[in-house]
Each structure stands twice: as structure tokens, then as C-alpha cells.
Amino acid sequence: MTIHIGAKNGEIAETVLMPGDPYRAKWAAETFLQDACLVNDVRGMLGFTGSWNGNPVTIQGSGMGMPSLSIYANELIRDFGAKTLIRIGSCGGMQKTVGLRDVILAMTATTAGSPSDTIFKEVNFAPCADWSLLQAAARAAEARDVTTHVGGIYSSDTFYDERPDLNEQMVRHGILGVEMEAAELYTLAARYGCRALAVLTVSDHLQTGEALPSDQRERSFGDMVEIALEAAFA
């Protein structure tokens, strides 16, 4: 048990999927895990542990933004022994070649700032995904015939963005999509010698203004969860 995670020793699996929304964690656990049990509800940030194809899995909400994710990822790794952490969430498409419902596998995660900045001082650390997870996720997505893009994303702690010039530079430099957590997850995984990956569903698009209706999101998010699970145990 930690300050933010009320699970007991042994209740958190070494493989953890991390959606931002705690209710998405509940939906994913009930939909994809066998014998899923609630192991955390501190501050309403729900976490469940069950099994997938006989493999123990925890699905723990991370909250929105890198500061929130940093709290949960730190405690999951340091106090509960998590070894593989996969973010599953939505993102905004930034390239015209990226469509709604597409899946993005984040090879790298650019950011303007994260909770780890004070450690690196003048160095611009380059957070990246674990290669084995990235490769396995790409294979799983191809097998499921899911339109998938592999490349760099942008992790921002500003949801209501007022820097269109910054977004323009992200697009110019080939960034596929924008979300709010992956860069810090990748940095923490590197620090502690863990595996990390972000598997993201494009739910809206910054260039076209399109957005996926809520009643059409579940099927697309289901592909994302299954890709993450297959990658974790490939």
C-alpha cells in the first residue's frame, strides 16, 4: 500500500496497462480480463487486477497529464514491482495521413516539459519506447488489420492549448499525434530499467477538426487494448 495506491503486496501484476480515465480502466478490466478484482480506489483512481490468457495483468488509471501519471508510475514501479507499463489512451491526430480510429504506436515522445526536467538540467533527454514492445505491438496491429502508424508523438501538459505556432512545428517535424502522458512514462521506465509503450487511438484531429463520437469509441479502444495485451506477452 502506498499514499496513492491502496493495493496490498502481491495485488499488482508485473504488467500494467495505464489508461488516463479510471472508468476506462474499469471498462477494460471487465471486458478483457478474467476474474478482475478492484485493488485500488484511492481518490477514485480505479485499479483492477485479473488475468489475460493466464497472464496476470493490472489495469490502473493514471489521471490526466504527466504529473499525475508520474505519481502512479513511480509507485507502481518502486513499491509494487511493475516491470512492463503500457499506456492505453486517446490522442489527437496531427498529420493528414492519420485518420480517426487509427492506432498510433509511439516510438518517441517529444515534450516541452515534464516532472523529470529538474533531473536533467540542461540536457534534453529523448524518451523512447521499448523496442521489444513496439515491435510486438506493430505485429499485433498488423495481424488485426488495424490501420497503424509508428513514429513520434508530442506529450503536452496543456489541454486548452494557446500555442498554435508550437503545434505547427510539431506537424512540420512529422509528429503523428498529441497526448498528455507518454513522455514521462518513457522517462521513468528508462530510469528504473522497465519496459514502456504508448498505444493510442486517434479520437480527434487537430487539422481537420473531426472528432470520434462517443458511441463509436468503444470498438476502436478495444483494438488498442488487445494490441497492448498481445504486445506485453509476445
DSSP string, 191-213: HHT-EEEEEEEEEEETTT--B--
| C-beta separation of 103 from 147 below 8 A | yes
| Bridge partners for 52 per DSSP | 55
Residues 38-50: pLDDT tens digits?
A: 999 999 999 999 9
Query: What is the dotted CATH code of the domain comprising 15-232?
Result: 3.40.50.1580
Q: Which amino acid is at 225?
A: V
CA triplet 31, 33, 37: central angle to 5 degrees?
105
The span from the CA of 229 to the CA of 24, in Å, is 15
Element (H, E) at 108: strand 103-111
What is the DSSP code (8-state) at residue 216?
Answer: G
Ranking 11-25, 117-131, 133-147, 205-219 by mean pLDDT, the lowest is 205-219
User: Hey, is 98 helix, strand or coil?
Assistant: coil
Residues across the chain: 234
Identify the band that residue 84 occupies on the pLDDT scale cut at 50, 70 and 90: very high
> In the chain, pLDDT over 70 holds for what percent of residues?
98
Identify the band that residue 164 occupies on the pLDDT scale cut at 50, 70 and 90: confident
pLDDT at residue number 161: 81
Pairing of strands 34-40, 47-52: antiparallel
The span from the CA of 34 to the CA of 36, in Å, is 6
Q: Active-site positions?
A: 204
Residue 79 CB neighbours (<10 A): 16
Cα 37 to Cα 49, 57, 62, 87, 227: the distances in Å are: 5, 11, 18, 20, 22
Q: Which amino acid is at 55?
A: N
The span from the CA of 113 to the CA of 119, in Å, is 12
CA triplet 176, 177, 181: central angle to 5 degrees?
130
Q: Summarize the annotated binding site as residue ranges.
A: 4, 20, 24, 43, 87-90, 179-181, 203-204
Residue in 198, 202, 199 with CA at minimum distance from that of residue 217? 202
User: Hey, is 90 helix, strand or coil?
Assistant: strand
Residue spans of the domains in the chain: they are 15-232
Q: Summarize the annotated binding site for a purine D-ribonucleoside as residue ranges.
A: 4, 179-181, 203-204
Residues 124-162: pLDDT tens digits?
A: 999 999 999 999 999 999 999 999 999 999 999 888 888
Identify the band that residue 75 occupies on the pLDDT scale cut at 50, 70 and 90: very high
Q: Backbone dihedral region of 218: left (phi > 0), alpha (psi from -120 to 50 degrees) or beta?
A: alpha
Cell of 207: 487539422
